[in-house]
Amino acid sequence: MSSAPMSSAPMSSAHPSVAPTAVTARAGGPLRGTVRVPGDKSISHRALILGALTVGRTVITGLLEGDDVLRTVQAMRLLGATVTRTGPGAWTVEGVGVGGFAAPPETLDFGNSGTGCRLVMGAVAGSPVTATFDGDASLRRRPMRRILDPILRMGAEVLAAAEGDRLPIRLAGARDPIPTLYETPVPSAQVKSAVLLAGLSAPGETIVVEREATRDHTERMLAHFGASVRVEPDGPHGRRITLTGQPELSPAPVAVPADPSSAAFPLVAALIVPGSDLVLSGVMTNPLRTGLFATLTEMGASIEPVAVRRDGGEEMADFRVEFSTLRGVEVPAARAPAMIDEYPVLAVAAAFAEGRTVMRGLKELRVKESDRLAATADLLRVNGVAVEIDGDDLIVEGRGRAPGGGLVATHMDHRLAMSALVMGLASEKPVTIDDAGFIATSFPGFLDTMKNLGAEIG
């Protein structure tokens, strides 16, 4: 890439260095009660971004008020939208319209959030403004080339980037965005969404083809805000998404359902802690997000949907979950996009199952908040569980129990932290994590939520 190198140090924004907080989970009584986990992270980011690209006032309820989403709130403000909190989870966004972002007066700092950063890069690519994107040490390690490739084709320009096209990156949006047909080289809803958001300001049709369908919240929400979006099957597992550019988006209320990726933690905890019986309420059941539910059901889990309903373009249900005897299964690679964030906690469930669980096709896990493939294997290994990585596959030998007793390195990764604590609730010896701080990126209140259900965490 011909952009100027950007050295990390002077661009570094304030990442307050909070001392890491170690937390321990141990086996105790059953988990019981009803819990509504926080709002869906993917939908929360999108509601703020699309609200900012709409002329008029978008009303959002149930927004996830985790660190990741609050970074997107701040980014939308810096780009000129008025974003106001009106009550717990209740927010309004007064948007600036498609292509109407203002040049942000300071760096857009996305902290730990790959989703916020990559989606906003797409949105900025379609506005004639220059913005600097940055994040914490974890986000600075993550690949951005996958976003830059399509948006450069659409007319955006990289003015500066750190080595390897990583953050911090200074990006100039396109004055006259060019519509594109883009086949995503990796199964990534973030890449797809960035292209569609940039395509909003391009004339004519922007088309994304994905070989494996990934979460479709952007497509659904664009339609909810009045854009013309056509989704057609393409190949055995793929989709072709066609967006007509330069729409007048009109404000539409967004009620954010509970996040299935967060529900996964109390769900697996209830399955492995004897005597547990929980209700998880209002959990989104979008089929491109519920691969974990399908896999656990195949493993013998008792997960029963009770009240199924629909709101704001998404489906949701309450789920009753009871302690279950689990057996090992093979999870096909084709299911990975529908449960990409759930493998660490599935690996924990697999340790408590009887027999071998083989999870195939996990290459993308290597570029999450941490190298989640290696870190998940380490999580199990330090707690006495037999585990192996074979190429892109993770293989766990379930023995119906786990010795525990490990200190788990969480690598600035919220999902590893929560998965390890869930493991501690059912292992023979307590499990300790090195830092619970990053849990707040996606599941503020996780420790209290689990304690209220009866978990021994502290």
| Residue number, 190 or 427, with CB nearest to ligand S3P | 190
> 87 Cβ partners below 8 Å, 6+ apart?
none
Q: Is residue 190 a contact point for ligand S3P (CB under 6 A)?
A: yes
User: Are 224 and 54 in contact, with CB atoms under 8 Å apart?
Assistant: no
CB-nearer residue toward ligand S3P: 69 or 158 = 69
Q: Give the count of beta carbons closer than 10 Å to the beta carbon of residue 309.
A: 12
Nearer to ligand S3P, 318 or 369 (CB): 369
Residues 321-340 that bind ligand S3P (CB under 6 A): 340
219 Ramachandran zone, left/alpha/beta (phi>0; psi -120 to 50): alpha
CA count, 13 A, side-chain hemisphere, 376? 31
Q: Measured between alpha carbons, how far is 97 from 119 in angstroms, rounded to an integer?
A: 16
Instruction: Considering only the stretches 148-156, 185-193, 377-385, 393-401, report the one whose residues sit in contact with ligand S3P under the rule CB under 6 A.
Output: 185-193
Site membership for ligand S3P, residue 189 (CB under 6 A): yes
For position 262 contacting ligand S3P by CB under 6 A, the verdict is: no
Determine which one of 40, 216, 318, 341 is catalytic. 341
**Which one among 65, 219, 259, 341 touches ligand S3P, defined by CB under 6 A?**
341
> In the annotation, is 434 catalytic?
no
342 interacts with ligand S3P by CB under 6 A = no
Selection from 83, 13, 98 nearest residue 45 by Cα = 83
- The token duo for 140 is 């600075």
53 binds ligand S3P (CB under 6 A): no
Of 314 and 318, the one with the shorter C-beta distance to ligand S3P is 314
- Residue 154 and residue 199 in contact, taking contact as beta carbons nearer than 8 Å: yes
Least separation in angstroms between CB 220 and ligand S3P? 12
Phi, psi (rounded to 5 degrees) for 354: -95, 120
Helix (H, G, I), strand (E, B) or coil at 235: coil
The identity of residue 209, as a single letter, is: V
Q: What is the C-alpha separation between 340 and 114, in angstroms, rounded?
A: 14
Q: Given the rule CB under 6 A, which of 168-176, 182-190, 313-321, 343-351 is the region that contacts ligand S3P? A: 182-190
Binding string, 347-376, against ligand S3P, x = CB under 6 A? -----------------x------------
Q: Which is nearer to ligand S3P, 26 or 372 (CB)?
A: 372
Min dist. Cβ of residue 392 to ligand S3P (A): 14
Q: Which of 374, 386, 384, 385 is nearest to 410 (CA)?
A: 374
Name which of residues 103 to 132 contact ligand S3P (CB under 6 A): 115
Residues catalogued as catalytic: 341
Q: Which residues bind ligand S3P (CB under 6 A)?
A: 42, 115, 188-190, 193, 215, 340-341, 364
